[in-house]
Chains A and B, each alone.
Chain A
Amino acid sequence: MTSTLSIQGLRVAVGDREVLKGFDLTMSTGEVHALMGPNGSGKSTLAHALTGHPGYRVLEGSVSIDGHELLGLSATERARAGLFLALQQPLEVPGVRPLDMLVAAGANPATAAARVREEAARVGLRPELLERFVNVDLSGGERKRAEMVQLGVLRPRFCLLDEVDSGLDVDALAAVARRLSSAVSEWECGVLAITHFRRLLVELVPTTIHVVRDGRVVATGGPEIAERLEREGYDGFRAPRA
């Protein structure tokens, strides 16, 4: 069954500064959307605000899945409603084992260990690394592969990728992109990839591209947007007047 993630008029502040200034985006499961924009345009803020990060304050707007409002919900409830965030720098949680985290997050305790091993093999993560505490003592690439293991076990409806391509080597980037592409075909995962590079999008082909400037989506379209970006850069996309 197709689900729709709808973001409408979202305004978010970090500290005293308003970063998202009326952000709109709609996407469905089974689609791959790319969100591109220069540094400071609000891309990461969107990902963090959607998942209830304590440092981000929602001022106004709506985020819903199939009409079910998420913004009043806890981070846990948003995750359980189907939102998954892969971070630019996945946090270390010393003392907590990945398997215990996944079972507490709702993975079937009877099969979780086997599922974790399967998913680790798919993204080329050495299984012994999953005996370590969550993201502790892992390289940047290993952490991102480890988050793809989480994704594969938890099978969320929507995956938000916050610049997962930054600092990633070519092999790790390909492994992450392949895993996401299969997630789209396997359970119609909807992928919203936030990036300011085009590298990721060679492996993970988007159905729709959004350009963000100054806290708003200023253009939405197909592959032609990427071509235009290539020619004109972000300067070709002007923010509309408020």
Chain B
Amino acid sequence: MTTFADSAAAVIDAHPGAGRLEAWRAFEEVGLPSSSDEVWRYTPLSALGLEDRAVPAGPSTVAPTDAARRLGAGAGVVLTVVDGYLAPVGELPDGLEVVADESGRSHTGQALYERYARDAFSLLNAALAPATTVVRVAPGAVLPGPVVVLGLAGTGASFPRLRVEIGRGAEAVVVEYLEGGRDGLVVPVSEYALDDDGSLTLVTYQRLDETAWQVARTTGFLERDARLRQAVIGLGAHYDRARNDAELRGAGSANELRTTYLGRGDQVHDFRTRQLHLAPRTTSRLLSKGAVAERSRSVYTGLIEIEKGATRTDARQTNHNLLLSSSAHADSVPNLDIRENDVLCAHASSVGPLDALQRWYLESRGVGRVDAQRLMIQGFFYEMLEALPATLAAPIEADVAAAVGEVARAAEVGS
């Protein structure tokens, strides 16, 4: 059996340059994190088994599931990316360009291995992703329909990388979808660059196989008056870690981030966020809501950083967790780091079970226990889903409703 290291070396040999070797060396120097590192404390890293997860030399042969097809049906453009390899792209509407960028550079202009120095998994992505899929929306363009990036993962380790560039005053809706990855490791790195007045509505939707590991990192770069609305939905994977950052670089820029997760079985959903306010009058709204059933657990760690000079910043962070069994666990750690006085900043968090009296009220109308729980859990997520773009809401809501149904039944067994 090919080991991770051997297959990684083969990929780097086959695609030399673009800073891959530097990234690999930096990874070797940093090494995989261990559970004794605070930010990896809840990660069962000993079970990762990286050595057994070979990097494919090309895209695996995988077909999209019905769920992926339904999502694609509501799209204006579907881009298929298998194990990080962009499939041939059909005709595109005016104002949209899609390319595979093999330069190995971040939106910031830095080499990826410099930009993501000391982040072991992102360094692996820098070394091993075939290319960056770039979705570029021309200045002033308003895309007629959503762009769905259908990410499919095979069984080994795969490293998809995406960059969405929204030109000055342009508007787009993009869905970053990920499925597959049986017994695999998927390490996506994404950047969203919004020029002045640009607007991006983004849905990051993870429904990987229940055996998969995901370690994802996304960063938004927002220039003056840009608006990034991002919904992150984590339904799948055995271990689901997502770090979602936003750098509010231009005055008046706004970031809204909603993260949603549903845990079952032994799943771990681990969400990290960082809102970095660098300019005046920037706003961030972060709402994270998740439910954990059976023996699953969730971690939410959010950091709001406000730099000196980012006056009149308005930053809010909210995290609510629903505990659906006595064996499930949720940790919530909000952090603030404020270096400016003239700001508004607030955070709130809660962890608790379904309200027993509300459930009794529904039951006393004749609603059965599982249905009552299903309605209440669905209700808990209602505000998360109402932000979805209309053309895509139905398939995603149906998926979430099905998952909620399973969780409600699991909660009944567990209670």
* Chain A residues close to B by CB (< 8 Å): 51-54, 74-76, 78-80, 84-85, 90-96, 100-102, 104-106, 133-134, 150, 154
Contact = CB atoms under 8 A, between A and B. Distances in A.
Contacts, number: 76
Nearest to A79: B366
Nearest to A105: B366
A133 B360 CA distance: 16
A92 B357 CA distance: 10
Given A79-B365, A93-B362, A104-B372, 15 more contacts: A52-B363, A75-B364, A76-B367, A76-B372, A79-B363, A91-B357, A93-B358, A93-B376, A95-B376, A95-B378, A101-B375, A104-B371, A105-B367, A150-B365, A154-B366
Contacts of A92: 358
Contacts of B383: 95
Contacts of A93: 358, 361-362, 376, 379
B368 interface: yes
Contact of B362 (A54, A78, A94, A101): A101
B356 interface: yes
Given A95-B379, A96-B379, A133-B379, A76 B358 contact: no
Nearest to B357: A91
Nearest to A156: B366
A88 B360 CA distance: 15
Contacts of B382: 95
Contacts of B376: 93, 95-96
Given A53-B360, A75-B360, A91-B357, A102 B365 contact: yes
Given A76-B369, A104-B371, A154-B366, A95 B380 contact: yes
Contacts of B356: 54
Given A53-B360, A93-B358, A93-B362, A101 B379 contact: no
A105 to B, nearest CB: 4
Nearest to A78: B364
B367 A104 contact: yes
A80 B360 contact: no
Interface in B326-381: 356-358, 360-369, 371-372, 375-376, 378-381
Interface of B: 356-358, 360-369, 371-372, 375-376, 378-383
A51 B363 CA distance: 9
Contacts of A76: 363, 366-369, 372
Nearest to B383: A95
A54 B353 CA distance: 15
B19 to A, nearest CB: 48
Most buried by A among B356, B362, B379: B362
User: What are the nearest 6 A-B pairs in CB distance?
Assistant: A95-B379, A105-B366, A79-B366, A75-B363, A104-B371, A91-B361
A80 B381 CA distance: 28
B380 to A, nearest CB: 6
Contacts of A53: 360, 364
Nearest to B378: A95
Contact of B360 (A52, A94, A95): A52
A185 B163 CA distance: 68
Contact of A74 (B358, B369, B371, B379): B369
Most buried by A among B361, B375, B383: B361
A73 to B, nearest CB: 11
A6 B382 CA distance: 42
A52 B375 contact: no
